[in-house]
Amino acid sequence: MNITSAQYTKDDKGQNYAIKIVVGDRTYYVPPSERNTDYAEILKQVKEGTLTIKDAD
Amino acid sequence: MSKAAELANLIGNINAGGGGVNRNVIINGAMNVAQRGTSSTGLGASSGYFTCDRWLLAQSGDGRLTMSQDSSVPTGKGFANSLKLDCTTADTSIASGEFLQIVQKIEGQNLQSIGKGTSDAKPITVSFYVKANATFNFVCELNDLDNTRHISKLFATTTDWVKHEITFPADTTGAFDNDNAASLNLTFWLHAGSTYSDGTLNTATFASTTNGNRAAGVSSFYSSIDNNFFITGVQLEVGQNPTEFESEPFERTLAKCQRYYQRWQANTSYDSVCMGQMTTDVFWIGHYKLAPEMRAEPTFSADGTFKVNASNGDMNASSIALARATPQVVAIECATTDSNRQGQGAYLRAGDDSDAFLEFKSEL
């Protein structure tokens, strides 16, 4: 998956929750669940040093 | 196949622990469900799910294709749809790491009846119908993701529909995990570079995966822009005997697919999505019920124009995002134009956009 940007978003309690990613011309929100394969891919790319997750606005 | 032979095969599989209703482990083998759309062009740059549900197009290379749900089917077999690939950009200079695959990933908990990794392991039979513009030798592979083991078989296409029935021997090594993660890939290889084809095809028994043995002898779908490939009626069942494709009602296949992908799609300009509340004058949050329950907390995306309606007035919605997710319910939030409606009940709707949609994805 070619993720061009990644940024945390906050939930209604003000805590980091979903990760907003951009793939191609689409924006996706990925929940922090190890069962979610997109989340697993994000963690993999972060570990490999090819992706950095920005802090939430 | 005669009815007597069919019955004998079915009984044989039942005696082996398979057979009966729900014998087909493959979801959407008849290619009837295509929630994302019926055609997608220019594919080849990256892998993904594009048309028929549950069928991953996995690829790396310079070739390009159009993927579609097609009405060409084998005559008299009860099918209405097939999955079609049409080459639009050829790739005759095949780099080592290139590949093109049609894949269905299967949860481990749905494979336990195979008994893989035990002394009572059972054979697996895969059957399917294929057609192409010419004769090709493609590869059907079972890829055990939990134990890094695989087995592959060549199959040939002609210009007419051909049914292939391939039985893979039992594997007493390496059990499938009993969970909701992917344990087995059913993979159809249509193109492969030397990384995946410079060895000897591993056809006899499951063995530790050696990449070069996975697709040796495979033809290249990308050899010409004249090339096309059709497939339907895919079935994977426990037992040594192929049986007729297990047909099921459309809504049952759709429900199975929705465990992995759900889509809210507007049909008219102002269709409603779900109820919620204005938590401030400029912020709305609502809850969308996922039905059926999804495999995992889904990835969310929105496309198109939406509005939030409260007190019979529409507010423009922007930055539609995921606030919280479970496999059963997701909380969706968005910013709105200032309307002095804090605390009011309000619902999300399409904003004069009959093409607007929301996606919820928990693919394997």
- Out of B296, B322, B364, the one facing A29 most closely (by C-beta) is B322
Do residue B253 and residue B266 come from a single domain?
no
Q: What tokens does B87 get?
A: 């080459």
Do residue B144 and residue B160 come from a single domain?
yes
Do residue B19 and residue B54 come from a single domain?
yes
Helix (H) or strand (E) holding B87: strand B82-89
Do residue B241 and residue B333 come from a single domain?
no
Q: Region B120-149: what's the mean pLDDT?
A: 98
pLDDT tens profile B239-273: 999 999 999 999 999 999 999 999 999 999 999 99
Do residue B225 and residue B130 come from a single domain?
yes
Do residue B121 and residue B46 come from a single domain?
yes
Judged by CB atoms closer than 8 Å, whether chains meet at A36 and B297 is answered as: yes
Domain coverage including residue B320: 261-361
- The residue from B242, B258, B274 where one domain ends is B258
- pLDDT above 90: residue B62: yes
Give the pLDDT score at B5.
76
Question: Residues of chain A with pLDDT > 90: what percent?
Answer: 79
Judged by CB atoms closer than 8 Å, whether chains meet at A36 and B322 is answered as: no
- The residue from B211, B239, B258 where one domain ends is B258
pLDDT tens profile B266-299: 999 999 999 999 999 999 999 999 999 999 999 9
Residues B103-140, buried b or exposed e (16+ Cβ, 10 A)? bbbbbbebbebbbbbeeebbbbbbbbbbbbbeebebbb
Which residues in chain B have Cβ-Cβ distances shorter than 8 Å to A9? Answer: 321-322
Domain count of the fold of chain B = 2
Distance CA B198, CA B17 (A): 37
- pLDDT above 80: residue B93: yes
Least Cα distance to B17 among B159, B112, B154, B148 occurs for B112
- The residue from B192, B223, B258 where one domain ends is B258
- pLDDT above 80: residue B104: yes
When comparing pLDDT for B7 and B38, which is higher?
B38
- pLDDT above 90: residue B1: no
- pLDDT above 70: residue B229: yes
Do residue B347 and residue B220 come from a single domain?
no
Which residues in chain A have Cβ-Cβ distances shorter than 8 Å to B300? Answer: 18, 28-29, 31
Residue B13 phi, psi (nearest 5): -70, -40
Do residue B282 and residue B168 come from a single domain?
no
C-beta atoms surrounding B166 within 10 Å: 19
Interface confidence (ipTM) of the complex: 0.97
Give the pLDDT score at A10.
87
Predicted structure pTM score: 0.94
Do residue B166 and residue B202 come from a single domain?
yes
> Which CATH number fits the domain that encloses residue B356?
2.60.40
> Which CATH number fits the domain that encloses residue B134?
2.60.120.260
Question: Residues of chain B with pLDDT > 90: what percent?
Answer: 91
Do residue B182 and residue B276 come from a single domain?
no
Do residue B197 and residue B215 come from a single domain?
yes
Give the list of residues 6+ apart from residue B109 with CB closer than 8 angstroms, or none: B178, B179, B180
As averages over each run of 10 residues, the pLDDT of chain A (57 residues) reads 93 88 95 96 96 94
